[in-house]
């Protein structure tokens, strides 16, 4: 039997972690009944998984090289599995919140070292394509949870859903620990602090990590805002919950295509700046067509179909952005010693974008009495992304390809 490509196994490990990020929305109606979760508590449950990424990304990035990239990823999956297992026995909302925060820490540990691991596992000519595939781990895991969660919960309850994903993450942790090559020997304690300081200074004093991190922030803010509120938009429009959930899952899954295509195009020599321009422009146009009142006088069914097509364009073509940025992050890191630190910094800004974007869209919708001005937020993020892409493009042309 042919052995699975170790780099692909890393991607599957990321998907198993991302399943936990997306497992909550399908369970919220049941949790509100079973544990008395309020709407405010539900909002915290949705956002707490990003808390570790926003506060500890840089610290974990600094520690990962000393701990070992493989060891860090496996440890993250073990933490996620343990927290999800215990979560199935939670009797109060606060207990679930604490364990949700622990899942966020595990997710950070499992996802942050992956690009560095892929860099070590694949040949240089395959790296852009594989990192583009890695960029799809989050939308793929989210879509699987949105599609599979309701079915599993209907059969075994929300506790069974938590325990099933706990078992899956534990199995992935074991598989990774057995199949991936061992980490290099950890550095001795002597001089460790100095090395940590050197890596931190080299990453944060370089323009590349800052620009890529900010690009991720303005991307993740608008993508999660649109995908996160899409079920609410469709339910308010009169669609059944099941159809709204399936439509959202398809929109999330559409993001995968852009990530994979970005990797392929980068391998063929397409400039990263061009891919970023196309991605941000598509998100600006897609957000406008999806929310702005531009379909007046048209048949309601046709207008709804065109709006949904705009959402699919927003997500799928927008997927060019993370697929490109993961490759740029490895290329623009100031040396291999700083890849993990750079990814930790990017993780912090991506999590910050995910925490800020949805509340900002919700605030605009509340102030305007509907979703029709939401495109101002997504469009503003996209314009910021276009400007940042111009700066990234100029910098990447001066950096050697890796």
pLDDT at 47 over 90: no
Q: Which of 319, 148, 321, 161 is nearest to 249 (CA)?
A: 148
Report field, pTM of the whole predicted structure over 0.85: no
Domains observed in the chain: 6-178+193-396 (1.20.1250.20)
Distances (CA, A) of 27 to 47, 94, 227, 329: 15, 16, 17, 35
Model pLDDT, residue 397: 60
| Tokens describing residue 370 | 């509907």
* 296 φ/ψ angles, rounded to the nearest 5 degrees: -60, 145
| Tokens describing residue 55 | 């506060």
User: For the segment 83-109, what is each residue's pLDDT rounded down to a tens digit?
Assistant: 999 999 988 888 898 999 899 899 989
Query: Tokens 């701990």 belong to which residue?
Result: 67
Model pLDDT, residue 40: 65
User: For the segment 178-232, what is each residue's pLDDT rounded down to a tens digit?
Assistant: 999 887 665 544 445 446 677 777 777 788 889 999 999 999 989 888 887 787 6
CB-side neighbour CA atoms (13 Å) of 52: 23
Q: Which of 377, 371, 213, 365 is nearest to 293 (CA)?
A: 371
Distances (CA, A) of 6 to 11, 98, 122, 182, 385: 9, 33, 9, 12, 33
């Amino acid at each position: 039997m042919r052995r699975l490509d170790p780099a692909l196994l890393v991607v599957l490990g990321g998907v198993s972690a991302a399943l936990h990020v997306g497992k909550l929305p399908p369970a919220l109606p049941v949790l509100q009944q079973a544990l008395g979760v309020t709407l405010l508590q539900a909002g915290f449950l949705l956002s707490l998984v990003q808390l570790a990424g926003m506060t500890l990304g840089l610290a974990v990035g600094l520690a990962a090289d000393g701990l070992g990239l493989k060891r860090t990823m496996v440890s993250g999956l073990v933490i996620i599995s343990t927290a999800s297992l215990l979560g199935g026995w939670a009797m109060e909302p606060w207990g679930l919140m604490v364990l949700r925060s622990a899942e966020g820490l595990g997710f950070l540990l499992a996802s942050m070292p992956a690009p560095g691991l892929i860099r070590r596992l694949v040949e240089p000519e395959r790296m852009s394509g594989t990192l583009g595939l890695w960029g799809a781990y989050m939308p793929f895991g989210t879509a699987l949870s949105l599609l599979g969660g309701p079915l599993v919960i209907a059969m075994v309850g929300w506790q069974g859903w938590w325990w099933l994903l706990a078992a899956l993450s534990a199995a992935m942790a074991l598989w990774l620990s057995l199949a991936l090559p061992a980490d290099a020997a950890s550095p001795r304690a002597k001089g460790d602090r100095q090395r940590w300081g050197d890596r931190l200074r080299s990453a944060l004093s370089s323009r590349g990590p800052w620009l890529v991190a900010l690009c991720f922030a303005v991307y993740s803010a608008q993508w999660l805002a649109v995908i996160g509120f899409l079920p609410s938009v469709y339910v308010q429009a009169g669609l059944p919950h099941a159809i709204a959930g399936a439509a959202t899952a398809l929109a999330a899954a559409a993001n995968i295509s852009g990530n994979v295509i970005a990797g392929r195009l980068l391998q063929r020599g397409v400039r990263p700046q061009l891919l970023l321009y196309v991605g941000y422009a598509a998100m600006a146009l897609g957000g406008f067509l999806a929310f702005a009142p531009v379909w007046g006088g048209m048949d309601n069914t046709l207008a709804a179909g065109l709006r949904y097509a705009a959402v699919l364009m927003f997500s799928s073509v927008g997927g060019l952005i993370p697929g490109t940025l993961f490759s740029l992050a490895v290329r623009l890191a100031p040396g291999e010693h700083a890849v993990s630190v750079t990814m930790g910094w990017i993780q912090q800004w991506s999590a910050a974008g995910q925490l800020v974007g949805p509340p900002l869209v919700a605030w605009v919708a509340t102030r305007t009495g509907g979703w029709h001005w939401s495109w101002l937020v997504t469009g503003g993020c996209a314009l910021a992304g276009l400007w940042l892409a111009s700066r990234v493009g100029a910098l990447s042309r001066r950096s050697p390809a890796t």
